[in-house]
Structure formats: structure tokens, C-alpha cells
Structure 1
Amino acid sequence: MDQLEDVASSLSHDELLEITQSVLCTLISHDSLLSELPPDIIHEEILSQIAVEHGQSITIFVSRESEPRLKVIVPQTATVGDLKKAIARHFSLHLQRTGYKVKISWKYIWKTYNLDFDGIILDDNSNTIDNYGVGNKATLCFKKKRKIK
């Protein structure tokens, strides 16, 4: 135990952080439950994945025109508003990981597009997604709103 404290005190904060991250990456990559998660995972993503495995949350795929699908995890009792916040959070993480420095106006996005599930528009933010029939591994897509004249 004394040797461990001596080694820890001789290393800088950055070196300890790097060692900790590499050990966590190794542990996560060898765990069957967490192996599909990215190496720069955040605490929220680990908790979400565990909630999915325990049946407390569901995975929803959001398809965008020519872009890859987004995998979003929300609680089973989530509202449409909660889903929209989860999409925004996931997309900002996606942009960080890919290195893009873009500011997205989600107010504009939700004013311009609706979420569509099998022809049903998810338009009431206070309504639960279960009321629309959205379940585990459902695929939603963005659909441009029509202008009302």
C-alpha cells in the first residue's frame, strides 16, 4: 500500500488522469455490457446503458436524411419533450467526438421539424412517447413542418 502511495505522489495530475482513463477504457472494452460504448464515455452514458439492460430505459434510433442514425436512450416513461432534450444532448456529444465546433439552435430545429414515427407526428411535448406507440428500438425521423397559410 505504501508503494502505491509513493507512486501516486510522484506522478502529476495529468499522468494520473491518463493512467485512470486508459485503465477505464480497458475495463469497458472487455465488459460485454459496455463494450459497444465509445472510449471517451461519460458517466451519463454508462448509467443509460445500464438502465437499458435493466429494462428501465429504451433505445430509440433517430434517422436523418443522409446522415447515420443516432442512438438515443430515454426512460420508458419519457415525454416527447424529454426525448427532444435527449436528442439534443446526444447530438452535442456526437459533434464533440467528431471534432465539429458548431452551435445548433434547437429552438429553430423544433420549430422547423417534427419527429415522425410511422406516419404519426410527435407534436405534444407533454405527452408520453408510449402514447404514440414508440417502443424499444423504434426508429423516428425528422419531418419538415408544413407552413400553414
Structure 2
Amino acid sequence: MEQPGELANTLSHDDLIEITKSSLCTLINSDSLLSDLPPDVILEEVIAQIAVEFGQSITVFISRDDEPVLKVIVPQNASVSDLKKAIARHFEIYQKRIGNKVKISWKYIWKTYDLSFDSLILDNNCSPIENYGVTNKVTLAFKKRKKKRK
């Protein structure tokens, strides 16, 4: 049997990448802690999942009209602003995964929509999400902002 160093010299770079990806996929699928992660997982997602398991972060589900629910992981003491940044980051990763190259204007999104939980609008970006009752495994929804009368 060949030594790993000798084997690495005989394989092409693409072959080594493929072997590494398949090995990581097998390891992640066999681990009960990481098994719900996608096959093309990135380090950021692994670290976030481990933080959830150790109770340092919470999982929040974001419901959107006629779209799949987004699973976003944020620290327990996150502010509304931190949650919005995490949603934007998760959506960016989601878009890359499905191969969509559309640029999203988050400034427009947050001017047009609010996040709501149990009919409460998360309107103060500086306040912690726990002030609104947001805990682990709750579902938030995008709610169209009402136009202010002048």
C-alpha cells in the first residue's frame, strides 16, 4: 500500500479536491451534531452550528412569502441589527448555493419590510432580540412597512 504522501504525488489537484470533499461530506453526514448541514458546507456554518450546540447561539427561522424558510444562526445576545446582518449573510450563502447572481439591496429591503414576531415589530436596531421574546427555534416573518402619513 502506498504512503499518503506518495499517493498525493500521483493524483492530480482536482482528484485531491474531490477526495477531500467526499471525505468531508462523509464525516459531516456521520456526525449527529453536523448532519443537518448542506454537503457544500463552509467553515462559518460549522462554527455556527457548534455554537448552537454549546448554547452560545440560537437558531431563528425566517418566513418569506412563497419562498423557502431561512434558518439563521445568531448569538444569544444579538441585537436586531446583528440579526439583520446574519439574515443578509445567510441569504448571500443561499444565493451562491443555488447559483443565483442577483444583487440584493438590503438597504431597500429594510426600508420596505420589518421583521415581526408574534405581531411585534422588531423596530429598534439597537435593542437585543430577547427584548422582543425571540428565543431559540422561533419563526420571524417579513412584514411590509406601512407608509407614514405626512
1:121 maps to 121
Equivalent residue runs for 1:91-106 within 5 Å: 91-106=91-106
2:34 maps to 34
Q: Which amino acid aligns with 1:56?
A: Q
Equivalent residue runs for 1:1-149 within 5 Å: 3-149=3-149
Offset, 1:2: 7.3
Query: Which runs of 4 or more aligned residues in structure 1 lie more than 4 Å from their structure 2 counterparts after TM superposition?
Result: none
Offset, 1:12: 2.4
- In 1, distance between residues paired with 2:136 and 2:129? 11
CA RMSD of aligned residues (A): 1.3
> Could you list the per-position Cα deviations for residues 69-103 of structure 1 after superposition, in whole angstroms to 9, with x for gaps in the alignment?
11101000101111001101111111111121211
Offset, 1:17: 1.4
- In 1, distance between residues paired with 2:28 and 2:10? 27
TM-score (ref. length: structure 1): 0.95
- In 2, distance between residues paired with 1:4 and 1:90? 37
> Could you list the per-position Cα deviations for residues 50-77 of structure 1 after superposition, in whole angstroms to 9, with x for gaps in the alignment?
1111111101000001112111010001
Is there any run of 5+ residues in structure 1 with no aligned partner, and where?
none
> Could you list the per-position Cα deviations for residues 92-131 of structure 1 after superposition, in whole angstroms to 9, with x for gaps in the alignment?
1111111212110001000100000111111111111011
Percent of paired sites with the same residue: 66
Is there any run of 5+ residues in structure 2 with no aligned partner, and where?
none
